[in-house]
Structure 1
């Protein structure tokens, strides 16, 4: 029961059809075994890259797909409906390319086609052990040394940690709080860069998450994006777009859980009829469907604002909050619909439920989203 979409162009319809074909034939059969074994699906990212799906929202003259966010996010949702780890990986890769695309010099931006071609995979190195929600408190330091910076510190909770070919890194270049942070594009095999073991997580086990340890790692000065001290606003701007990516992943996850629940409820008979004929279960499924479609509408509204060049930060936080909370509720209810089977690993809904939880945490916890939304409301109401 694929999502019923209103897409803006015939090209967008073809992209969704291509994505559904890849999701059904290539991703879905591999998802459960890879998650069980915590196997990083690098070849799946290469497949998506060869199919033109790793750089959709970036300009064609930079090697991207030239698609609006409205379309890119729906592609992301289709991937997430069968394999959330891969969808999150695409979102993180897109996020990691944003600073270079939006803030890089003309010379620096010449690297974008290489990053978007599909052979390389990016990571976004912002969080630290004591600077998760408070990103302005990070302590990783980049010290200028002639024509390079020497970077020392540890980054935590890094998606694609140890797997990425490049990282967008945020490090402190002065002690001026948020105004002392700078942005760098660093090589994934940089001297002085080592990695911690993969985190042992509740879900998204196919998505490697690890620490990055920098020990006087030399980063060429021409890898700094924008001026010193401009890293924090770059990080916040990137996260606004990244939150839309996670919202789309969450909706895809919820759609996948809903599809499984409806299929089960129409095929499972009790007392001589399909269990979906029972009002209690039918109403539960109806609420699940309403939550999925409402969350989709919320992220699409934010995406269309972004595509038109309108402010969308508040709407992005609302989309992330609404979509991830909906995914948590819908996946829990999907397990309930399947009953005892839903609690086993013979069906994917228990995995969907475990994966939904982290959606409420990364790219800014949902508590942080409420803070962001509240601040926007207070600012908009000020005389």
Structure 2
């Protein structure tokens, strides 16, 4: 196991070789896999953090992935994919399956997740990849003795799969009931090394617009025999297990966006401080400072959402169906918008693929995929809207898991063990962070900076409108109207505001230093969440820009640490 600080030190020491920006950019141009960087992460013990043991810390895994992502998104996505491939086993596997998998993951073996297919994309219920039970023959000559009978034959193709070729293990969704349906699919952990020759065929690498060096390919199986203990969960549990595993992976994906925001802010800061326009520094131009300040506020808001959601994996697992969907919709979308604004600041340098400024073009291009995988923004907002009637009812009730919420918000509180049995497909208790906003606002009146008062009034007014409008919302069969997605966005912003407020209240260290004094970061985040077009918010964003410009760190974080 490694710490975030140790990993940062290690990667900094290898900026002239494995993590050299020029070398990684060169591999991207050649569309070659960043093997040296991945091996360095393996040797550093990074894979051990993809094992979600009961005594582990999911939020630490997110921070480690962020550390890699702020240097290169291709490396982070290629390496972190193993967590996605293993998540179904942590959610539904037997203790024996989990132990065997954990040993191999800690040894650096890559695992892929075979969900999507060429003709069906995200429509998992249309998947054709099939598994047929074998009940009267040995699965293969080399199988364990307990694999006589009860094995399976897998046939079909999975496509656009990250690490499909490089992985030694694949968690595959297969149709086990020809009729399909919600209980017609099952998950299998396939060990390539145990398959007979010819049973597994790699498909060619797919050329992509971003993350060009990643192993985005696919595979085809033709009657591939797997033992009975390859089944993850019970037969027919495939779709429910996938949905529960996505509750973890969608939160983990925020690490990629946080790292991208770190990288982009650093490039914009260096450009603004090193460039002169009409005899003065670009960093001194009010409009530029406002862009930087807004971008920094967005990055800090995304960090607050990610931090609260990652810790909620341990403290509020029953609410993750809601939390993960809104988090995955909100953070990558906000970050992509932020990259767009910083690209305008960089001007033509934002489009260059070689120095100076070439790093931003690759970064912005690579990040676009983050809003798509593990459910696109639209898919996640639809999932949130499908729970909106329940969430609306909970908004009107004075009930929430306040103990779990405060444990999630207090960044120094010990985390309880991850309890997979508390994961549910629908949140019975709604979303405690949003439902307790009125109580949180009351606490802010007593403990918060006076400057935040008008912002709190606006947040509560917007919450009241959200409660009114969501009460009238009814999900429609056959699709959702485009106007409904605005309701999901408003709910996401309410959660983001709650995350900022809760972190402020539960963590006194976040009220100190240049970011914390007079509630600067909090006021900037709340202003970005509530400000109306044309409002004069230049003072708070200008003050935040000062901190960005004076912080020679790789990351711009609520903790204010230069790592």
Structures share fold, TM-score greater than 0.5: yes
The whole-number CA distance in structure 2 between the counterparts of 1:55 and 1:178 is 33
Q: Deviation string for 1:6-52 (max 9, x for gaps)?
A: xxxxx9xx712122223332424442122112111234333212212
Offset of residue 327 of structure 1: 2.3
Can you give the 5+ residue segments of structure 2 that lack an aligned partner in the other structure? 136-148, 395-563
Match of 2:96 among 99, 107, 111: 107
Asked if residue 40 in structure 1 is aligned to residue 42 in structure 2, the reply is no
| Residue among 276, 283, 302 paired with 2:283 | 276
Partner of residue 145, structure 2: none
Looking at structure 2, the residues matched to 91 and 238 of structure 1 have their Cα atoms a distance apart, in angstroms, of 15
Write the deviation string for residues 94-140 of structure 1: whole angstroms up to 9, x where unpaired: 12112223322232223123222142011000111233322222111
For residue 226 of structure 1, report the CA deviation from its aligned partner.
Answer: 1.6
**Match for residue 374 of structure 1 among 382, 385, 388:** 385
Question: Which is worse superposed, 258-267 or 103-112?
Answer: 103-112
In structure 2, the CA distance between the partners of 1:150 and 1:57, relative to structure 1 (3 Å rule), is closer
Which one of the candidate residues 2, 5, 18 is aligned to 2:6?
18
Supply the distance in 1 between the matched residues of 2:88 and 2:269 (Cα, whole angstroms): 41
Greater Cα shift, 39-48 or 153-162: 39-48
- For 2:158, the equivalent position in structure 1 comes to 155
Residue in 1 that maps onto 2:484: none
- 2:75 corresponds to which of 76, 82, 86: 86
**Aligned partners of 2:176 and 2:42: how far apart in 1?**
34
CA separation of 1:328 and 1:28: change in aligned 2, threshold 3 A:
farther
CA contact (8 A) 1:159 1:208 kept: yes
Q: Distance in 2 between matches of 1:329 and 1:239?
A: 24
Which piece of structure 1 moves more, 225-234 or 311-320? 311-320
2-structure distance, mates of 1:118, 1:89: 16
Q: Are the aligned partners of 2:325 and 2:383 in contact in 1 as well (CA < 8 Å)?
A: yes
Counterpart check, 1:360 vs 2:371: yes
CA contact (8 A) 1:91 1:242 kept: no
**Match in the other structure for 1:5:** none
- TM-score of the superposed pair, with normalisation by structure 1: 0.90
User: Contact 2:273–2:283 (CA<8 Å) still a contact in 1?
Assistant: yes
Aligned residues: CA RMSD: 2.0
Comparing 325-334 and 22-31, the one that deviates more: 22-31
Deviation at 1:176, TM superposition (A): 3.7
Q: CA deviation at 1:328?
A: 1.4
In 1: Cα distance, 2:89 partner to 2:240 partner: 14
| Other-structure match for 1:330 | 338
Alignment partner of 1:300 out of 307, 312, 317: 307
User: Shift of residue 261 of structure 1?
Assistant: 0.9
> How far apart, in 2, do the equivalents of 1:365 and 1:245 lie?
14
Greater mean alpha carbon deviation, residues 305-314 or residues 275-284: 305-314
Larger mean CA deviation between 176-185 and 126-135 belongs to 126-135
Structure 1 residue 325: Cα displacement: 1.0
Q: Partners in 1 of 2:11 and 2:389 — Cα distance?
A: 42
Find the partner of 1:76 among 49, 65, 69. 65
For residue 225 of structure 1, the aligned residue among 204, 225, 232 is 232
On the 8 A contact 1:124/1:158 being kept in 2, the answer is yes
Relative to its length, the structure with more strand (as a share) is: 1
How many residues of Structure 1 are paired with residues of Structure 2 in the alignment? 367
Give yes or no for contact 2:85–2:113 (8 Å, CA) kept in 1: yes
Aligned equivalent of 2:325, options 289, 299, 317: 317
Matched, 1:179 2:183: yes
Q: Deviations over 1:68-92 (max 9, x none)?
A: 1222111111111111112112332
Asked if the contact 1:57–1:68 (Cα under 8 Å) also holds between the matched residues in 2, the reply is no
Q: Kindly indicate whether the alpha-carbon contact (under 8 Å) linking 2:131 and 2:152 is maintained by their aligned counterparts in 1.
A: yes
Q: Distance in 2 between matches of 1:271 and 1:118?
A: 57
Structure 1: gaps of 5 or more residues: 1-10
Alpha-carbon shift at residue 60 of structure 1 (Å): 6.4
Alpha carbons of 1:259 and 1:39: their partners in 2 closer, same or farther (altered >3 Å)? same
CA 1:252 to 1:15, structure 2 compared with 1: closer, same or farther past 3 Å? same
- Structure showing greater radius of gyration is 2
Q: In structure 2, what is the equivalent of residue 167 of structure 1?
A: 170
Partners of 2:107 and 2:360 in 1: how far apart? 30
Counterpart among 268, 287, 294 of residue 294 in structure 2? 287
> Could you list the per-position Cα deviations for residues 348-373 of structure 1 after superposition, in whole angstroms to 9, with x for gaps in the alignment?
10011111211121110110011011
Aligned to 2:200: 193
Could you say what secondary structure the match of 2:3 adopts? helix
User: Kindly tell me: are residues 319 and 199 of structure 1, through their superposed partners in 2, closer, same or farther at Cα, counting changes over 3 Å?
Assistant: same
Q: 1:56 matched to which residue of 2?
A: 49
CA distance in 2: counterparts of 1:113 and 1:312, whole angstroms? 24
